[in-house]
Chain A
Amino acid sequence: MSNILGWGGRVRGLFTDDKGPWGPSSSGGDEPPQDDGHGGPWGGSPGGRRVLGGRTVIPIEEMLRRGRMRFRGGGGRPDGSLILWAVLGFIAIWLIFTSTHSIEPGQRGVVTRFGRYSYTLGPGVGLTLPSPIDRVQKVDVESIRSADLGSQSSEDLMLTGDQNLLDIAYSVRWNVKNPEWYLFQLAQPDETIQQVAESAMRSVISQVTLQDAMGDKRSEIETQVADRMQHILDGYRSGIAVQGVAIQQADPPAEVNDAFKEVTAAQQDAKSYINQANAYALQLTAKAQGEAAAFDKVYQQYKLAPEVTRRRMYYETMEQVLAKVPKTIVEAPGVAPYLALPQVQKTQSQQEQQQ
């Protein structure tokens, strides 16, 4: 007992100086509650608190021994063993927290033992060895991540196969299909995906024409890019699955946009020309058919009595014609009548005005 006290004193002596290497010792956080009635834990002196501050540097074996001795030495001083229990409790909590891992659905826990890959935990609660030995890295494998490339606000021009320029914006959706590869094979997965996407898109676009890229071959291009990306990423053994590529925008550059609008206008124009011609054709055909039908009907009647019908038609027509126009009949044969044509016209226009 006495040597324990002496011990404590010795240690205390070392740490009575507040400017010790570990700073003011009173800042020790998790010290046991002070037992007022019995004085300080290390021999009843007020300096006991300070001694506690040095606890961290005393190796564990020493602590254990000290605790054991304390138990043997006297039950009246349980303070030392409190520290022991605290340490044990800490270790227990450490063990529990670092050896059980709850893996959420859609996650995988990749376990490395001393750095070497050991096994992969599925969703649920997984058990491993405690922390310094086993480490668990959680990887989200289900959720689809997305990377946007080529911005919609600024121009990102790409050369097409027919040496035109295309302003393009697209996004790539991907997830992790193999968490071990994803963690251990590729240095910067996100950057890699971007670069691979750019390269794949460029190589596909450089083999199609501008029209195809802007028009209905878009979905074909998307699948081709996704396939190519997957091929490249598999070559890196990246553990990444490309879920899809979506072209958000594929337009001609702003500088030549007017010319492209002109093409659309021309298409509209051409369509309207054709529509007009079709309308004309319909009208003409109807008219021809109508006239032909009318002639046929009259002709049928005419055939029944040709001479009479002919004369009847003649007189009817003449009636209509001559009834409405001014007429002059020159009786004397062989006399060329003098007609002041302008005069006639003048009287006529006067008549009209009077009307």
Chain B
Amino acid sequence: MIAFVRRRPLLTGVVAFLVLVLLLSSFPTVPETRQAVVVRFGKPERILNRYEPGRPIGSPGAGLSYRIPFVDQIVWIDKRVLAVDMEPQPVLSTDQRRLMVDAYARYRIVDPLLMYIRSTTEENLKSQLQTILRSEVRNELGRQTFAALLSPERQGIMDDVRNSLNAQASKFGVEIVDVRIKKTDLPDGTPLQSAFESMRTAREQEARSIRAQGLKQAQIIRAQADADASKTYAASFGQDPQFYDFYRAMQSYLTTFVGDGQDKPAPTNIILSPQNEYLKEFTGRNAPPK
């Protein structure tokens, strides 16, 4: 053996190298994030590190494995939760209103063998799932009214979408973890503009109503003040209506003919008859009897 090595060092080197490569390729390491299908001449042989629900990380599955070099091929398949995203999709509600819906689904490949048989690669699977997601979202949401579409979680609509999606996806060895609506938008153009318009008119209505309410309250406050003032006056003046009449008349004359100190009253000519009460002493008529 040693003699052979000495005679043909290069050959030995090459052989040793090949042995090393063979050795390495016979014992592939399976990471936690992947599962694999071992295919022998096109026929699936074994599944490595298959996903099983509830199994903790670090349990047997991942780690060192084996294969027959050149005979067994390993097809790696992701074990993690993957995402499939949908292009925004117009959905027509039962009340004939259009909404752009953007949804995504999270899924996990639970049966790598089935997935390998049906889709071969993860890219294929993704595009297949995308198609299914699109049609399911449209089907399920198309049965709803517009108001229900706005918050599909509340009515459990998303659960329906997930269940029907799951039924389809299980044929590909895929379990749908979650389907969610990322965005619901009004389509550009008329629907968006009319939404803006309705917002605008609603605000205008609100503004008017606020002003009217303000005016109403102001009026009530004034009326209340008037009423209070009347009450105060009545309580005071009601003590002697006759004297009030006289007192107020005197005030009134002053204000009318002399002014209240602020405005100059209109010019006045007074023509008095001698019969006037004020002039009764002027004529001496009412002189007390002596």
What is A's interface to B at a CB cutoff of 8 Å? Answer: 3, 7, 10-11, 14, 57-59, 61-62, 65, 112-119, 157-159, 161, 163-165, 180-181, 183-188, 191-192, 195-196, 198-199, 202-203, 206-207, 210, 232, 235-238, 252-253, 255-256, 259-260, 262-263, 265-267, 269-274, 276-278, 280-282, 284-285, 287-289, 291-293, 295-296, 298-299, 302-303, 306, 310, 313-314, 317-318, 320-322, 324-331, 333, 337, 339, 344-345, 348-349, 352
Which residues from A are CB-within-8-Å of B268? 325-326
The reply to whether B184 and A202 contact each other, CB–CB distance below 8 Å, is yes
B250 touches A314 (CB 8 A): yes
Given contacts A115-B29, A164-B195, A310-B246, contact A285 B232 (CB under 8 A): yes
CB-CB under 8 A from A281, the residues of chain B are: 221-222, 224-225, 228
Stretch from B56-64, B133-141, B163-171 that touches the partner: B56-64
Residues of B within 8 A of A326 (CB): 268-270
Q: Is B154's beta carbon under 8 Å from chain A?
A: yes
* Cross-interface CB contact of A202 among B57, B183, B274, cutoff 8 Å: B183
Chain B 175-191 interface 0/1 with A at a Cβ cutoff of 8 Å (1 = within): 00110111111100000
**Given A187-B78, A203-B151, A317-B250, 20 new contacts (CB under 8 A):** A3-B6, A7-B6, A62-B13, A114-B63, A119-B58, A163-B150, A195-B104, A195-B182, A199-B104, A202-B181, A266-B206, A266-B208, A270-B217, A281-B224, A285-B225, A310-B243, A313-B250, A318-B278, A325-B267, A348-B267
Are B228 and A198 interface neighbours, CB within 8 A? no
Contact B213 A270 (CB under 8 A): yes
Contact yes or no, A317 B62, CB < 8 A: no
What are the interface flags for B136-161 relative to A under an 8 Å C-beta threshold, 1 for contact and 0 otherwise? 00000000000100110110000000
Is there a chain A Cβ closer than 8 Å to B117's Cβ? no
Q: How far is the CA of A293 from the CA of B33 in the complex (A)?
A: 93
The answer for the CA separation of A280 and B177 in the assembled complex, in Å, is 68
CB-defined contacts of A299 to chain B, threshold 8 Å: 239-240, 243, 247
Q: Which residues of chain B are near A232, meaning CB under 8 Å?
A: 178, 180
B272 A199 Cβ-Cβ under 8 A: no
Q: Does B69 touch A at the CB level, under 8 Å?
A: no
Selecting from B38-46, B79-87, B88-96, the interface stretch reads B79-87
A215 to B246: give the CA distance in the assembly, Å: 62
- Chain B contacts for A119, CB-based, 8 A: 58
Which 6 pairs show the lowest CB-CB distances between chains A and B?
A270-B214, A281-B225, A116-B63, A292-B236, A277-B218, A288-B229
Q: Which residue of B lies closest to A158 (CB)?
A: B183
Q: Which of B150, B203, B225, B250 has the most CB of A within 10 A?
A: B203
Of A281, A330, A339, chain B has the most CB atoms within 10 Å of the CB of A281
Q: Which of A59, A117, A192, A274 contacts B214 (CB 8 A)?
A: A274
Distance A6 CA – B164 CA, assembled complex (angstroms): 77
Contact of B83 among A188, A289, A313 (CB under 8 A): A188
On whether the beta carbons of A292 and B278 are closer than 8 Å, the reply is no
A202 touches B182 (CB 8 A): yes
Query: In whole Å, how far is B203's beta carbon from the nearest beta carbon of chain A?
Result: 4
B180 touches A117 (CB 8 A): no
The DSSP consensus for interface residues of chain A is helix
Q: Which residue of chain A has its CB nearest to the CB of B273?
A: A330
Are the CB atoms of A263 and B206 closer together than 8 Å? yes
Within 8 A of A (CB), among B196-222: 196, 198-200, 202-204, 206-208, 210-211, 213-215, 217-222
Chain B, 111-131, CB within 8 A of any chain A CB: none
- Is B71 among interface residues, defined by CB-CB distance under 8 A? no
Contact partners of B214 in chain A: CB under 8 A: 266, 269-274
16 example contacts (A-B, Cβ-Cβ < 8 A) are as follows A58-B13, A114-B62, A115-B32, A164-B199, A184-B33, A184-B80, A195-B85, A203-B181, A259-B204, A267-B210, A269-B210, A270-B215, A281-B222, A285-B232, A288-B233, A299-B247
Known: A320-B254, A325-B257. A14 touches B217 (CB 8 A): no
Contact residues in A for B150 (Cβ distance below 8 Å): 159, 161, 163, 206
A203-B195 CB under 8 A given contacts A115-B30, A115-B32, A277-B219: no
Q: Which residues of A contact B80 (CB under 8 A)?
A: 184-187
Cβ-based interface call for B253 (8 A): yes
Supposing A259-B200, A263-B206, A318-B278 touch, asked if A236 and B106 sit within 8 A by C-beta, the answer is yes
Which of A113, A263, A270, A327 contacts B63 (CB under 8 A)? A113
The answer to whether B207 and A252 touch across the interface, beta carbons within 8 angstroms, is no
> Which residues from B are CB-within-8-Å of A318?
253, 278
Residues of B within 8 A of A278 (CB): 221
Closest to A315 in B: B278
Given A206-B151, A236-B106; A263-B9 close (CB under 8 Å): no
In the complex formed, the residue of A with least CB distance to B185 is A157
Q: How far is the CB of A163 from chain B (nearest CB, A)?
A: 7
Does B287 lie at the interface of the complex (its beta carbon under 8 Å from any beta carbon of A)? no
| Min CB gap A304→B, angstroms | 12
Q: Which residues of A sit under 8 angstroms from B104, Cβ to Cβ?
A: 195, 199
B residues within 8 A CB of A269?
210-211, 214
User: Which residue in chain B gives the minimum CB-CB distance to A283?
Assistant: B225
Given A164-B195, A259-B203, A287-B229, A339–B271 Cβ distance below 8 Å? yes
